[in-house]
Amino acid sequence: MTDAAARAAELRRILERANHAYYVLDRPEMSDAEYDRIFQELLELERTHAELRTPDSPTRRIGAEPSPAFQKHRHLVPMLSLANAFSAEALTAWEERNARLVPEVVGAGYTLEVKIDGAAVSLTYEDGVFVTGATRGNGIEGENVTPNLQTVLDVPLKLQGGGWPQKMEVRGEVYLSKSRFAQLNREREQAGEPPFANPRNAAAGALRQLDPKITRARRLRIFCFHVEAPGQKLPFDTQHDLLEQLGRWGFPVEPNHALVPDLPAAHAEITRLEALLPTLDYGADGVVVKVNPRALHAELGTVGDREPRWAIARKFAPEVQVTKLLDIRINVGRTGALNPYAVLEPVEIGGATVSQAALHNADLIAAKDIRIGDWVEVTRAGEVIPQVLGPVRERRTGEERPFVMPEKCPVCGSRVEHPQDEVMTYCPNVSCPGRVLEGIVYFASRGAMDIRGLGYERVRALLHAEFIENVADLYDRDRVSLARLLTLDGFAEKSAQQLLAAIDASKSRPLSTLLFALGIRHVGAAGAKLLARHFGSMSRLAKAAAEDIGTIRGIGPAIAEAVAGFFAEPRNRKLIARLEKLGLTMTEPSAAAGEGGGPLAGQTYVITGTLPSLSRTKAQELIEAAGGHVTDNVSKKTTAVVMGADAGSKLEKARALRVPVIDEAELLRRASGKQ
């Protein structure tokens, strides 16, 4: 193989991998700038070496294959992409090329439109009604995501006015505002979920959710800019009138578009728009220049069915700043993963001060040849997330040090592990203070046990005071009590009481929530639900072998192994036993009860004393399986107190509050539904 052939193969492999990570996994592993650079290098190689233009090159398919989970949607007219002009000269060259084909373009006028950085969609309207919404896919065929697009509040479901063709496809860009993006990431961080890399990705991911409720919760927006209606008459002759008409029909149109008479005026207007882009609340990655008269569009035609000649994207280099990489430090995550990050001399980029940037893993640092002490180029991916592009090699003094992943955990000193098939390095010590802190914060986060008021700062304080070492200690009133909390900074009587109440309230979360909160590797919210529904109780799950767990639909071997491994660990068994003793719920309301059924649905019971046949746990399982709840304290809301032998003060309280008192036989009768 020639050098060029080898390089092309390598570039394709990198691009395919990045495409997969981006489109299929929804987890980008390189910045757009980096992807673009590699893509450009491959394009250039293919341009100069005709023999390297293979049919499977990523340069041939801009975009992703439709996911098998959605129905395919064939676009009436292919969704094209745009050529880029990275400079004013490139834009002038574009007009010159066009003028050789169609001389009338000179002076015919151009529209300038903000190029929204989101996910391209096509909306089909029949008789003025929104009938189908699709992603771009490979341009020919996308995915039918109609229910998701219906959740985008500014997509008109029925058009206003009149004059539309019987069937038309309106093209637009779905996006997430910068402010909504920041808010979502704050929420995700609190819930212990990985943040979105950028608004574009969060928008694209939201569109491809199988559950439209998730799409809706992201609060996507849309701007529209193009119409296709093959063989039908449209009530406009220019691109500018098209935009105005879209507005009248009720589509959101980006408000900063402009109409200019010629190219010199376009250059001036582009300069104005470039300055405007960073101030907008939505990501914009350039300005689209379009020939205004639509009659000329047909004459100009397309380049290889891929790009129209009548439009081009004027792109601006993202703001890149050079600053000093002071250090590479490591944060130890909940799973023990050692996450390296750059400590930078603070620098302002796009209106925000950047002083840290994630570096992901040692391989990536080595691939970019980033060394401690380097001057590095830093940008903000999607105008948001700080990113180190690479070193400025010319400024090296020889003092720079390559980064080596430590052999010992920087927090606890344990020897780290680097599994063969993974890029990450892990601290294996489950008691590592770094892991413990992250693990407890995760346990308490929203989406997990949802203990309000228990974030990083307070967990750190509780650990530091040695009140807690693990999550069970939170529930132990000898360790975390009102009196003890009041000795800590930042607690007053009221806030301490609120925290204790929030901790107590979390005891009644179902097994699925507890399983998720424990942070067992590979066990997400959905997996935890499946496990809890199948086994019903912690004790049954703990006894299950990996092979049995793996037979559940939706649970793969990795989850099964991780779960069995978790319960095989004596330390974990001890923790679970303590949580149970401290009164946490160890069962899952049955699926039927979960859907609102069950004879005890909506009822709350308190158990006191020793019941004749049922253990406390069994009685609780029984009530929860029938859709009811069990709590520790009697209140006016308690449905009934189940009384056994040697009942204590709860019985008196029940009498005082006039809460019914029943025995085990009555409980069994109620739970069986024979009332």
Tell me which stretch binds ligand IVH (CB under 6 A): 32-40, 112-120, 453-461, 638-646.
Answer: 112-120
The smaller minimum CB distance to ligand IVH, of residues 80 and 485, is found at 80
Please, are residues 325 and 370 in contact by the beta-carbon 8 Å criterion?
yes
Query: Helix crossing, 570-581 with 557-568: angle to 10°?
Result: 80
Residue 174 lies near ligand IVH (rule: CB under 6 A): no
User: Which residue's entry shows tokens 């095989």?
Assistant: 568
Q: Least Å distance between CB 242 and ligand IVH?
A: 11
Shortest separation between residue 379's beta carbon and ligand IVH, angstroms? 20
Closest separation in Å from C-beta 116 to ligand IVH: 4
- Cα distance between residue 374 and residue 599, in whole Å: 68
Select 308 or 340, whichever has its Cβ closest to ligand IVH.
308
3-class SS at 224? Answer: strand
Query: Whose CA is closest to 412, among 441, 442, 443, 436?
Result: 436
Q: Report the run of H or E that residue 538 belongs to, with start and end.
A: helix 538-543
Query: How many other β-carbons are positioned within 10 Å of the β-carbon of residue 190?
Result: 17
Q: What is the footprint of ligand IVH within residues 241-300 (CB under 6 A)? A: 288
* Range in contact with ligand IVH (rule: CB under 6 A) among 17-25, 75-83, 347-355, 623-631: 75-83
Q: In the bound complex, what is the minimum distance in angstroms from residue 82's beta carbon to ligand IVH? A: 4
Six token digits for residue 232: 């039908």
| Only segment of 80-88, 379-387, 472-480, 663-671 that touches ligand IVH (CB under 6 A) | 80-88
Pair 145, 331: CB distance under 8 Å = no
225 sits near ligand IVH (criterion: CB under 6 A): yes
Residues 6+ apart with CB under 8 A from 619: 607, 611, 630, 642, 664, 667
Interface size with ligand IVH, residues (CB under 6 A)? 14
Per CB under 6 A, does 115 bind ligand IVH?
A: yes
State which of positions 302-331 bind ligand IVH (CB under 6 A).
308, 311, 313
Element (H, E) at 390: strand 385-391
Among the listed residues 508, 449, 501, the one whose alpha carbon sits nearest the alpha carbon of residue 190: 449
Least Å distance, CB 81 to ligand IVH, is 4
Please give the Cα distance from 570 to 593 (Å, whole number): 33
- For ligand IVH, give the closer residue by CB, 288 or 432: 288
Nearer to ligand IVH, 220 or 311 (CB): 311
Catalytic residue among 115, 290, 315, 529: 115
Q: Which is nearer to ligand IVH, 222 or 338 (CB)?
A: 222
Tell the smallest beta-carbon distance from residue 173 to ligand IVH (Å): 4
Task: List, in sequence order, every beta strand (DSSP E) within 229-337.
Answer: 258-260, 284-291, 302-303, 307-308, 311-314, 321-332
Segment (H or E) for 60: none
Query: Comparing C-alpha atoms, which of 197, 37, 215 is closest to residue 121?
Result: 215
Mark the segment that binds ligand IVH (CB under 6 A) among 114-122, 158-166, 387-395, 584-592: 114-122
The H or E element spanning position 122 is strand 119-126
Residue 199 touches ligand IVH, criterion: CB under 6 A: no
Whose Cβ is closer to ligand IVH: residue 246's or residue 354's?
246
94 lines the binding site for ligand IVH (CB under 6 A): no
Q: How far is the CB of 221 from ligand IVH (least distance, A)?
A: 13
In whole angstroms, the minimum distance from the beta carbon of 560 to ligand IVH comes to 41
CA pair distance 600, 604, nearest whole angstrom: 8
72 a catalytic residue: no
Q: Out of 40, 81, 190, 256, name the contact with ligand IVH by CB under 6 A.
A: 81
Q: Does 113 bind ligand IVH (CB under 6 A)?
A: yes
Phi and psi at residue 100, to the nearest 5°: -65, -30
Query: The tokens of 157 are what?
Result: 């479901």
Residue from the set 143, 173, 374, 438 that interacts with ligand IVH by CB under 6 A:
173
Which of 79-87, 481-489, 607-615, 619-627 is the region at the interface with ligand IVH (rule: CB under 6 A)?
79-87
Query: Of 664, 538, 564, 535, which is closest to residue 610 (Cα–Cα)?
Result: 664
Residue (172 or 627) nearer to ligand IVH, CB: 172
Distance (Å, whole) CA 484 – CA 465: 10
Which one of 15, 18, 80, 246 is in contact with ligand IVH (CB under 6 A)? 80
d(CA 564, CA 541): 9
Residue 89 beta carbon to ligand IVH: minimum distance, rounded to whole angstroms: 21
Contacts of 467 (CB under 8 A, 6+ apart): 473, 479, 480, 484
Give the residue with the Cβ less far from ligand IVH, 116 or 266. 116
Which residues in 348-377 contact ligand IVH (CB under 6 A)? none
- Is residue 102 involved in binding ligand IVH (CB under 6 A)? no
Q: Which of 120, 260, 472, 496 binds ligand IVH (CB under 6 A)?
A: 120
Identify whether the C-beta of residue 668 lies closer than 8 Å to the C-beta of residue 640. Answer: no
Q: Cβ 32 to ligand IVH, closest distance in Å?
A: 12
Among the listed residues 398, 361, 359, 397, the one whose alpha carbon sits nearest the alpha carbon of residue 378: 359
Rounded CA gap, 287 and 113, in Å? 5
Nearer to ligand IVH, 113 or 473 (CB): 113
- The position carrying tokens 């100069």 is 48
Q: How far apart are CA 307 and CA 300, in angstroms?
A: 11
Using CB positions, name the residue nearest to ligand IVH.
Answer: 120
**Member of 75, 180, 218, 226 binding ligand IVH (CB under 6 A):** 226
Q: In angstroms, what is the minimal distance from the CB of 136 to ligand IVH? A: 6
The answer for residues whose C-beta is within 8 angstroms of residue 427's C-beta and 6 or more apart is 332, 336, 338, 409, 411, 412, 414, 416, 417, 434, 435
Select 81 or 92, whichever has its Cβ closest to ligand IVH.
81
Nearer Cβ to ligand IVH, position 58 or 536?
Answer: 58
**In angstroms, how far is the first alpha carbon of the chain from the final one?**
81
- The catalytic residues are 115
User: Which residues contact ligand IVH by CB under 6 A?
Assistant: 80-82, 113, 115-116, 120, 173, 225-226, 288, 308, 311, 313
